[in-house]
Amino acid sequence: MTNKAGRPRLLLSTRIGHLTAALLLFALLYSLTNHYSAALFDCCSERIHYVATSLDSSLPFVAAMIVPYSWSMILFIASFFMVRTPSQLSSLSSRLILATLLATLIFYLYPARFSFERPLTTDWTTVGYAVLGAADKPFNQLPSLHVSYALLLGVSLWEVVVGRQWLVLSYKGLLVLVCCLIIGSTVFTYQHHLLDIIAGMLLAAIVLFMVDRQRSVLVLKYFAIAISGFLLLAITGFFIATNFKQPLFEYTSLVVAGYWLLSFMCLAWVYQSAEINTNSSYFIKDNRGKLTLSTWLTFVPLLLAYRAMSSLSQRYYSYQHPDRVGSTDWQPIGNNTSVSASARLSSPLFIKGFLPSQVADLAAQLIIVDLAAEASSHLLAIRAIANNSVKNAPRSTQYSIHYLYWPLLDLQPFNEADALVLIGLFEQLNQLLADNRHTNKAQAGTSLTLINFHCVMGFSRSIAMQVLYLVYCDKLSLENYQTWIRQHYPQAHLASSYLPESLITALSCAKKP
């Protein structure tokens, strides 16, 4: 959906969704670390830090600055309805969420308390300070999120007004004034110290640097899971240890939380540097298609989740499409070769109909191309049914099984795939086909080659890979590949943003063996 200027139009539901995510994360983590610091102050006050300097004691308390201090949350909420494009909304959300994550992690690692007592007010500002006192405690000091948010909001909202020059200049001047007043209010309301302001500015600079270099929103997703999970586990362990007077609970929770943090931070880094070689070096598999022990030790929370989701997805598919369970749709592409796309086959219902009926009396070559980085391949299951078929088939029936690992991270679109790397995979496939034809000719026999692409969850990724291979082999073209998908796989979800035409073009122009 676009506006009159031809730019994508933001739906109200999209804006509200981004705002809800940012607000909920802030409410959860900020209040969690605030209560943690307050509880720590009560039981172990020596672990609380104070960052006031001599300059802070000379700053006056200005009660009226509670007004611009309150503008921070108003501007926070309004910003999601002020941005004009999807890219502006995405940048705004990423910046605010990343600032919240980093700040709350620092609040836990370096709990600090405001050093002075705020004077009591008896004028019209009393209500404002009463609300502030009820909503916030004198902790979560360094860095100041008010300062970080003000700077990030100023940068994110800088280009949202267009039109006459006087209007743009007036808007930008007002935006600068509002953000400066918010920053100044943090010290004049006796809510923060000067070092908190400096740290908040530094945090904003780090966030801008990181978001500008973020490859995918999935990087931020796993970064958020890493820090949120760490804080929840560590602080929960602290409260349990405090209530039961057992420090062992806190130490144990810190070990578990630290592992969680490192595991998902490592995953975020893999998404940040998403390349096939990087994927295969972190998600290592043996020649049986099984994830290695080192991979399990590094990513066990993620891998257990994917194992559960894979099982549930196959159960759901068998419920929604009972007529398709137990059979694999093989597409002939000539030279006694057929290609199929499937999910990772783990259920016996899916595996039993994997082999086509025409291989009963043929020597067959099976080539399994595993696209799933986060789950083991179905190679062993396929090998088992192939061996079982051989027992019940004529003596001439043989199976030669080859396994190729080409890992893509879940939800990693093909527009991040290197065409040259894809071509390298397809060259391996075609070399195996050539070797099989040569062997078959020498033995004067008949052989069928089956190529199966499979991913971790559903069919769409496997179908995309099958399409790319058929394009590379001149079986499909830029003009007809979408029609072919609709004809053979109407349930596939292959938007142009996921399977770009530029990649189709690159493969169609590649030199075939």
- Tokens linked to 83: 């941005």
Which two structure tokens, joined as six digits, stand for 210?
Answer: 């990181």
Tokens of residue 104, six digits: 């709350």
What's this model's pTM, rounded to 2 decimal places?
0.85
Domain that includes residue 477, residue range: 331-508
CB 465 within 8 A of CB 494: no
Instruction: Decide if 319 is inside a domain.
Output: no
Percent of the chain at pLDDT > 70 equals 85
Q: Using CA atoms in the order 178, 183, 185, 189, what is the torsion angle rounded to 10 degrees?
A: 160
**Residue written as tokens 């072919």?**
484
Query: Kind of pairing, strands 337-343 and 331-334?
Result: antiparallel
456 versus 484: the higher-pLDDT residue is 484
The pLDDT tens digits of the residues spanning 38-81 come to 999 988 888 899 988 989 888 999 999 999 999 999 999 999 99
**What is the residue type of 169?**
L
Q: In this structure, is residue 373 part of a structural domain? A: yes
Calpha distance 294→285 (Å, rounded): 10
> What is the strand order of the sheet 331-334 is part of?
331-334, 337-343, 447-455, 363-372, 399-408
Average pLDDT on 222-230 reads 95
* In contact, 374 and 341? CB cutoff 8 Å: no
Q: What is the pLDDT of residue 209?
A: 95
Report the mean per-residue pLDDT for the chain: 84
The answer, yes or no, to whether residue 23 has pLDDT greater than 60, is yes
Number of domains composing the chain: 2
Is the predicted pLDDT of residue 499 greater than 70, yes or no?
yes
Strands (E), 344-457: 363-372, 399-408, 447-455
Burial track 472-485 (b if 16+ CB lie within 10 A, e otherwise)? bbebbeeeebbebb
Could you tell me which of 180, 197, 194, 193 has the C-alpha nearest to residue 65?
A: 180
Q: What is the pLDDT of residues 404-424, one digit of tens each?
A: 888 888 877 777 677 888 888
Residue 208 belongs to some domain of the structure: yes
Strand pairing report for 337-343 and 399-408: unpaired
Question: CATH no. for residue 448?
Answer: 3.90.190.10
Note the pLDDT of residue 30: 94
What's the pLDDT band for 442 if we cut at 50, 70, 90?
Answer: very low
User: Directed axis angle between helix 460-472 and helix 481-488, to 10°?
Assistant: 140
> Of the candidates 213, 233, 249, which is a domain's last residue?
213
Question: What values do phi and psi take at 85, rounded to 5?
Answer: -125, 160
- The string over 380-399, giving b where at least 16 C-beta atoms fall within 10 Å of a residue's C-beta and e elsewhere, is ebbbebbeeeeeeeeeebeb
Query: Of 213, 242, 258, which residue constitutes the final position of a domain?
Result: 213
Of 183, 213, 243, the residue that ends a domain is 213
- pLDDT tens-digit series, residues 283-299: 999 988 899 999 999 99
Neighbours of 498 (CB within 10 A): 15
Question: 16 with 142, same domain?
Answer: yes
Indicate if 209 and 335 belong to the same structural domain: no
Quick one: which of 12, 228, 5 has its CA closest to 100?
228
* pLDDT tens profile 352-361: 666 666 555 5
Q: 140 burial class (0-12, 13-18, 19+ CB within 10 angstroms)? A: buried
Judged against a pLDDT cut of 70, whether residue 111 lies above it is answered with: yes
CA 303 to CA 198: how far, in whole Å?
41
| CA 509 to chain CA centroid, nearest Å | 32
Instruction: Dump pLDDT digits (tens) for 181-221.
Output: 999 999 999 999 999 999 999 999 999 999 998 888 889 99
Between 26 and 452, where is the model more confident?
Answer: 26
For residue 228, tell me if it sits in a domain.
Answer: no
Mean pLDDT of 272-284: 83
Q: How confident is the model at residue 435 (pLDDT cuts 50, 70, 90)?
A: confident
Evaluate whether residue 96 is within a structural domain: yes
Average pLDDT over residues 435-461: 68
